[in-house]
Structure formats: C-alpha cells, structure tokens
A and B are shown apart, each in its own frame.
Chain A
Amino acid sequence: AAVKGGLRFQVSAALKEGHVTPTELCQSCLSLIKSTKFLNAYITVAEETALKQAEESEKRYRRGQPLGVLDGIPIAVKDNFNTAGIETTCASNMLKGYIPPYNATVVQKLLDQGAVLLGKTNLDEFAMGSGSTDGVFGPVRNPWSYSRQYKEKSVPKSPSEDEESNWVITGGSSGGSAAAVSSFTCFAALGSDTGGSTRNPAAHCGVVGLKPTYGLISRHGLIPLVNSMDVPGILTRCVDDAAAVLGSLAGHDPKDSTTIQDNFKPFELPNLTDVSKLSIGIPKEYCAPGLSSEILAFWSKATDLFKSAGAKVIEVSLPHTRYSIVCYHVLCTAEVASNMARFDGLEYGHRSDVNKSTESMYAATRREGFNDVVRGRILSGNYFLLKQNYEKYFIKAQKVRRLIANDFVKVFGSGVDILLTPTTLSDAVPYMEFIKEDNRTRSAQDDILTQAANMAGLPAINVPTGLSERGLPVGLQFIGQSFQEKQLLTVAKWFEKQVKFPMIQLEVKRHDHSAFQHQKSASFS
C-alpha cells in the first residue's frame, strides 16, 4: 500500500477516501518502529492496544463517521505523560513498572479524537537534560545520523570508524518523540517543554516543535518537572499538523487550575501570502556566545527573506536575557526538589529493600531510583529553598523572572508581532562528543535560546530551515505573544513554505518491504 508519510492532512484525506485504512497505517508504523529499533526512540510499544484502536477507527471510517481529523492517525507520547494501563517510566528506575490508573488530559483528548497511540517515547530521566542521553533506557539516536544527507557529508576520522560511533544526538529532553516523528514511525508526537525540551530536539531532528502558551493546554497527568514552566509540546512534520493537534488539545481543564478559563476556538491556518504588514523582531542578545557561524548565517538569510517579502524587520533588545539561564536554574531546581518529594517508594514505583526505618527506606529508594542528574537538581533546589537562602535566591530569581517577562511585553508592545531567533547554538553533535561534558553544563549551554520563552510563558515554535554543512537539520525559532498561537503558526507556515526543508532520506537496513515503500513514498509529499 502506498502510504503517504508526509503531511497528516494528506493522510487524513487518504483515510477518508479509503486509499489506506487505519489498520494498514498502524501496522506500517509498528513495523517501521521495529526496523528502527536501533534509534531507541520508544520505551514501550503498545502494539495490541494500538491495533485495537486502529480497528475501532476503521469501523468509524467505514460508517463514514470519523471523529475528526485525527481519527486513525498514529501518534506517540513522551513517557512522562500518564497513560492508563500502559507503563509510564519517565526513563527512571523510580517508575520502572509503574502503570498509571488514568490518562493525562492531553492523552485522553487525543484518544477521544480517535488517534492511535503507538507507544511511549524515550527521554532524559524525568525530562532533565538537553540530549535525551540520560535516561535509564539509554540514549536516543538522531535518525538523521542514518540519512544519506549526513552520510554523504561525514568524513570518517579513521578507517575503523563506522556509523555506530558517529551517530548524533537528538537533543532533549523530548528526543524520543522528535526521533519518532522524524523517522516516520508516527505522524505526531507529544513532548514536554520546560526550558526548550520540545523545540531543541525538534531543531536537531528537523521537525516542527511547538511550545504553546503556558495555561493553554492542560498539564493534568504530565508528571511535573517545573509546574510554573512545564507545557505539553507538539511535534509534527509540518506546521498545519501542529495546528490541528493544538486544536484538539487546547482549552480549559477543571483538573488543572493553571489553565485559562476562556473558551478556545480551534482554527484553520490561513495561507498567508502578504507579509508586508508583519513586524519581525530580531533580539540582539540572542546572538549568544557559542552560536555557530552556520546558524548565524541561516538566521541572517531568514531575516533577509522576510525583508525582501516586504515585512518590517527590526532589531530589538531583551536586556535581561543574560540573566535568564541562572534565574531559570534556581527556579527550576527549586520546583524540581519539591515535585520529586513524592517519590518515596511507599505508594508506587520503586521501593528499596532497606527497611530498618522509614527514613532509611526513603533515602535508599531515592538513591536507587534517581540518577545523579535528578539527585543533583534536588539537592540544589533544596538548598535554594532553605529559610536562610530563600530570599537571596528564590525570591530574587522570581523578581528577575518578572523582568525577563517584561522585556518581552515591552518589545511586543512597541509594535513587534513575532520574534525570530535561532533555536540551538549548532547542529546536532555526535554522542561521543556530547557526553564529554556533564548534563548540567550541557543544559546550561543548550537551553540558552529557548528557556526565556518558558520563563515568560510565551508560545514558541521551531521550524526546520535547512541543512548544515554536515548534512544535519538546522531550525529557527519564532516566539509569539501570549495566546496568539494563530498568528505565530500562520507566520511559521509561511516561512516553512519559503524554505522548503528537505525530506530526510533515511537509509535503514530493511527487512520488510512495506517499510521501504513507506520511506520511498515519504519523499513524494
């Protein structure tokens, strides 16, 4: 069966017209997951339930009553969202074997729309990290490592070196979701974004990564990292798809008091042709130290693109940008320390065998259950929350956070519609290089361009822009105004159309014919 691997809209149409059935689609994806197992993108594959959901969807299509655009569409969910009856681990020993009794609101919404849940994707342990390398199930490999584009450009450093040691990271912490979308094993995936965890891997894997406005999408059932910054993220292969998924997820949830009450109206993205009324802001502080000249070049080209299309492009300043990373670390670790307090081994998850006393059981359970990244952040966070430090660190950081948010308010208030910045400092680095630095250092470096949006609660999106000299994806980030996702996505869609990011030419050792065909037709979109 000729499966359209590209735009979901096309697949939806294909499903509606009966060119392909949900079951065929589901099976094709499941088989591709098996062929791409070496990517380590999935922690759990829910084959049985997925096929059942596909069957149900098929019945609906036969009756001519699909639930909507997402009916029958295979999706994947990051393993820090609760899924009823399906193991949810957060890539941690602490939750190995944990089977939640309920679905996260966003998962439930997708299922209610008829989406087919293929499985749970890999991440950094408890979403802490920027490489998707620090989970207990091992690192996720960027599918582009196995692309013709990368292979053509890579120069083996020694004759013995092969692709096994040369593979590059996905970025993180939603690396599994990004890899899953990038490698065509699903059509959309849920990630989470606290400091850039959806946009960063989206950039490295060449997919669209949307971070919605804080308060637009329910966090109920998303195992929390930083309650005041976490949002569910959406990863897709094109902007239209992201808008469609957003439409089915956004809106008030009585179970999450931080979601806004206003009624959300799902929208169709207009096909913008005239950008002359648009004002694009280029924040000068985002020309950060360590930004590769390549990325800088892509950014420049993009601003030129807007200029020549008639848009107003102006340099703006977000003066408190340089404080945001330290501020983020204080607030992030403080909330992490608080949120991780619930993992004590008593009610669920891992419990140590040590049982001399409650305290010793707690201590052993937490030492055994958490990796050192998590433990490090808990210790830091508790330090900042101590009575004698609270004012100096936590309160101070909250004040600076307000200043950072105000920077954006001022800029948007001066007539700028959207900000355009790079998403990452460089293209994806090889795993062997990445692990030379520790998680803390890496996070501090890699989050720098993305986390201000989390601090300010603003919507932001990574749009794949082009390929680097090494043949790897480079993305650019658009930051929008609060709850103006429609405007943000409209501009992003225009940009996507202009840059025509190339399809990945995945070269995978194939065992089954259908997967090969899948990949072949993917280049047809």
Chain B
Amino acid sequence: VLNRRCVEAAVMTGLALNCSINKKSLFDRKHYFYADLPAGYQITQQRVPIAVNGSLSYSLCIDNKMSQMVTKTVRIKQIQLEQDSGKSLHDDTRSQTLVDLNRAGVGLMEVVMEPDMCCGEEAAAAVRELQLILQTLGSSQAVMAEGQLRVDANVSVHHPGEPYGVRTEVKNINSIRFLAKAVDYEIQRQIEELEKGGTILNETRAFDSKLGCTVSMRDKEGKQDYRFMPEPNLPPLILYDTKSLPANLNHQQVVNIDWIHERLPDLPSVKRAKLVEQYGILPEHSFTLLNEDGLTEFFENVVKETQMKPKKVIGWILNDLLSYLKQHSLTVKESPVSSFLLADLLNLLEKKEISSTAAKQVLAELWKGEGKTPLEIVKEKKLELIQDQNELEQICQAVIDGQENEVMAIKAGNRKVLNKLIGLVQRETQGRSNPVLVKQLLEKKLSE
C-alpha cells in the first residue's frame, strides 16, 4: 500500500528542485535475490517516476576564501519513489551475514543527478545544499551518518571535447567529507589507470574511509537482468492540481500539487538572501548561519534583544560563539551561553560600559556556564570602564608626567607615540578605560 506522506515528500522535493511533477507515475517490480530483500523484488518506479527534469543550485568558495563565492547548477534527472531493503551486517569471523529487516519496505526517495559536477568539492557542496533543502522541507532529516541520506557517486573521466568515459559507481560513502574524498580519489585513480594504458571497468566500487581509497566490489558477475514487471498491487499514482481536481473526490484520497506548492517553506537560497537583505550581513555569513543547525535562530534572537547593529553582532556569532562551539564539539542547542546572555553582554558593550577586550573576557567566563549574568561577572572582575572623568584625567596626567621623552616626541610631531601613552593608561586602569576617551584627554592635555 502506498504511503501518502512519501508521495507528499517526493512532490515537495520535486517542486523545491524545480522539477516537473508527473501527474501520472507508475510502479514496477525489480527482481533479484538477496538476503536483505525478503520479497525477492523491490518496488520502484522504473518506467515513469514521480518527478523529472529539475535543477539544484549550490555555491562554492573559490580558493577556500569565504569571501569569494560562485554559484553552480547541477541538473536533476529524476526523483523516484521506491522501497528500502533490509540491512546486511557481514560477520566475517563467523562467515555469516546478519540481516535486519526492520527497514525493509520503508519508502525511499531517490534523487538522480546528471553528471554536471567536476570534482569532490562540487559534489560535496551540491549534496550539502540538497541536505539543507531536505531538512528545510521536512522530507528527510538527511543525516548521512544515520543512513537517512545515502549517496552513491558515479564517476568518469574524459579528455575535453571527447565523450564521457566509462563510469564506476562508488558506494559506502558515509559523510559529505568522505564524498569529496571518494570522488577525488576515484578521479585520480581513473586518470592514472588510463595514462598507464589500462581501461576502466563499468563496475561498483566501495569507498574505504580508513584507507581513503575505493575498492572493487567484484561480487556481481555480469549484468543482472532485473526482469522488470509492472507492480500489479499498486494502481498508477495520479496527482492533481487545482485545475484538474475533480469536485467529487474525497480530500483524503488525493494529493494536490498546487496545494503543496503554496505551502513550501522558504528554501535555503531564499532564506540566505532574506538574511542578507534584512540584516545587512555578507552572503558568506548567511551560508555559515544556515550551515549550522540552529545558528540562524540564535543570531536573530540576539539581534532582537540588543541595540547592537546586526553587522556587528554577526562577528560575535561567527567568530566568538561559533569557535567556542566547534572547540568543544557542541551544537548550538547545547551552547552554555544562551542568546539572551549574549545579548546582555553585547548591550553592555554597546552602552560603552565595558571595552571589547573586557567583553571577550566576560564571554570566556560565561562559557563556564556557572549561571552568572554578564553584569555580575563584570562587577566581580571589576571590568567596568571608568566612567569618572576626573579619575581618568588624573591617571592621564600621571602618565604624562612620568613619560617625559615620549611627551617631547609627541609635541615634536610624532603622533604614533601617543599610542604608547594610551597603552600605558590602559595598563594603569587594567583595561578599564575607553581608549577613544583616553586619546581625547591625552591630546587635550598635551596641547595645553
């Protein structure tokens, strides 16, 4: 029996990938014998899949510089619905295979891309974008490590101008990082093989993540004839749009493409553009925000609670918060510093009650997660900026009095030496002086 949610997910994904949705699609049986296939056949959509001819846009950084991004497109050949098989676990020590049938029969969506990508980096970026899209749509949580998103790479090489070479299929890729590695390794392997004068076999290879290479999976002799046959228990899948929807059909029984289209959430590319426009951040910032689960929400929450401009907030989010998270291998959800706390801290900075150096110190304290507020930490460590003008003036005067040579140099025209004096004032005040104000006071005094 066909699972309605699977159909909806496939339509959503097809629409998000700019595909044409086939209003009528068919189901077939693909026969082969294997221990993880209890029926002896897999139900799939070989003749007419549910969606065809789409495209996926993704972005790459040139030369690893986040500031230079280029947009590429990969064509989507089709999306088809099919059944999952069970899971085989090979126990080589006892020469046996253990078969877990729990997932057998569960609905899968296969997205087939055209060979428009040229290297591991492109493949990884494309799949990453696909992953974000799927997560945004809710079609899948697409976590590769859990097998929710499985990727097989088909790789071939050819000289420019010549037709595409023989392709190999690379399986057993368990992360986006490994995808890039596997693709690049295979490209290299094929090039070397051909330059030696050898040939590429149209075979299936497994990626060995420990060795970082692909290995031939020579257990299939010759080409299999899958004896495709229409699936007699599943009538053709008919989808409707608002125009073609007959009036008397039960709502429960139909899937309306237009209805789904209207309810599509903002895709990642749209979300990023909106963030750039709304907050004035850079495009590469928006990529980082979306790439990290929960980070966008965190950022927007901080912006809401603080007077600091988003353009400045983003620096704290991406440089400070994110690096702490990465260092401790934490997700945004697990952050000991909440968006409220960070906003509080940034507000103190914005009101010029503390210096940015002090702010970083406070953040380090907050990270310990001891439940103190930024204000409490500031008071505890006496990090407030000195607000008393007279006190500052006195310190400035003291410094001037103690640095005769430097004073003379400044008066002679060497303005750079002023920084040394500012530095000395900072030291005296233990960083609790506003450098801008200090500079003003010193200049005033020196010009007297």
Contact = CB atoms under 8 A, between A and B. Distances in A.
Partners in one complex: yes
Interface of A: 226-228, 254-258, 261, 334-335, 337-338, 340-344, 346-347, 358-359, 362, 382, 385-387, 390, 394
A280 B230 CA distance: 36
B41 A338 contact: yes
B298 interface: no
Given A255-B1, A385-B227, A341 B40 contact: yes
Contact of A386 (B38, B101, B225): B225
A344 B233 CA distance: 21
B99 to A, nearest CB: 7
A31 B287 CA distance: 80
A358 B219 CA distance: 13
A341 B225 contact: no
A358 B97 contact: yes
Contacts of A228: 232
B228 A257 contact: no
A335 B31 CA distance: 12
A337 B228 CA distance: 12
A343 B39 CA distance: 8
A192 to B, nearest CB: 15
Given A261-B253, A341-B40, A227 B225 contact: no
B46 to A, nearest CB: 12
B233 A258 contact: yes
B38 A346 contact: yes
Contacts of A344: 33, 38, 40
Given A227-B232, A255-B1, A341-B41, A358 B227 contact: no
B35 interface: yes
9 contacts: A258-B235, A344-B33, A344-B38, A344-B40, A346-B38, A358-B34, A358-B35, A359-B33, A387-B225
A133 B40 CA distance: 28
B171 interface: no
Given A256-B233, A382-B227, A386-B225, 13 more contacts: A257-B233, A257-B234, A257-B235, A258-B235, A261-B253, A338-B31, A338-B229, A340-B40, A341-B39, A342-B38, A358-B34, A358-B35, A385-B227
Given A227-B232, A385-B227, A394-B229, A257 B31 contact: no
Nearest to A258: B233
B29 interface: yes
B228 A347 contact: no
A343 B160 CA distance: 51
Contacts of B234: 257
A227 to B, nearest CB: 4
Contacts of B33: 341, 344, 359, 362
A338 B38 contact: no
A340 B41 CA distance: 10
A340 to B, nearest CB: 8
A362 B97 CA distance: 14
A359 B220 CA distance: 13
A179 B233 CA distance: 31
Nearest to A387: B225
Contacts of A358: 34-35, 97
**Which of B99, B233, B234, B250 counts the most A-chain CB atoms under 10 A from its CB?**
B233
Given A227-B232, A334-B229, A385 B35 contact: no
Contact of A342 (B39, B227, B228): B39
Given A341-B33, A394-B229, A346 B235 contact: no
Contacts of B38: 342, 344, 346-347
Contacts of A341: 31, 33, 39-41
A397 to B, nearest CB: 12
A347 B34 CA distance: 12
Contacts of A258: 232-233, 235
Interface in B43-71: none
B312 to A, nearest CB: 58
A335 B38 CA distance: 17
A226 B229 CA distance: 13
Interface string B1-12: 110000000000
A342 B38 CA distance: 6
A344 B253 CA distance: 36
A437 to B, nearest CB: 30
Contacts of A254: 1
A335 B40 contact: no
A341 B97 CA distance: 20
A338 B42 CA distance: 11
A385 B41 contact: no
Contacts of A227: 232-233
Given A341-B31, A341-B33, A358-B97, A385 B2 contact: no
B219 to A, nearest CB: 11
A5 to B, nearest CB: 39
Interface string B63-107: 000000000000000000000000000000000010101000000
A174 B1 CA distance: 28
Kindly list the 3 A-B residue pairs having the minimum CB-CB distance in the complex, ordered from nearest.
A341-B40, A227-B232, A385-B227
Contacts of A343: 40
A331 to B, nearest CB: 10
Contact of B31 (A385, A390, A394): A385
A329 to B, nearest CB: 16
A382 B35 CA distance: 20
B228 A390 contact: yes
A129 to B, nearest CB: 21
A343 B35 CA distance: 11
Interface in B227-250: 227-229, 232-235, 250
Contacts of B97: 358
A257 B1 contact: yes
Interface in B202-237: 225, 227-229, 232-235
B99 A346 contact: yes
A341 B37 CA distance: 10
Contacts of B29: 338
A346 B225 contact: no
Contacts of B227: 337-338, 382, 385-387, 390
Contacts of A359: 33
A344 B39 CA distance: 9
A337 B229 CA distance: 11
A346 B35 CA distance: 8
A339 to B, nearest CB: 9
B101 A347 contact: yes
Nearest to B29: A338
Nearest to B250: A261
A378 to B, nearest CB: 11
**Which of A258, A335, A385 counts the most B-chain CB atoms under 10 A from its CB?**
A385
B89 to A, nearest CB: 14
A188 B39 CA distance: 33
Contacts of A334: 229
A301 to B, nearest CB: 40
A385 B229 contact: yes
Contacts of A387: 225, 227
Contacts of B1: 254-257
B7 to A, nearest CB: 13
Nearest to B234: A257
Nearest to A261: B253
A386 B229 CA distance: 10
A255 B229 CA distance: 21
A344 B35 CA distance: 9
A387 B97 CA distance: 31
Nearest to A346: B35
Contact of A335 (B225, B232, B235): B232
Nearest to A341: B40
A385 B39 CA distance: 17
**Which of B29, B38, B99, B229 counts the most A-chain CB atoms under 10 A from its CB?**
B229
A416 to B, nearest CB: 28
A47 to B, nearest CB: 33
Contacts of A346: 35, 38, 99
A105 to B, nearest CB: 12
Contacts of B40: 338, 340-344
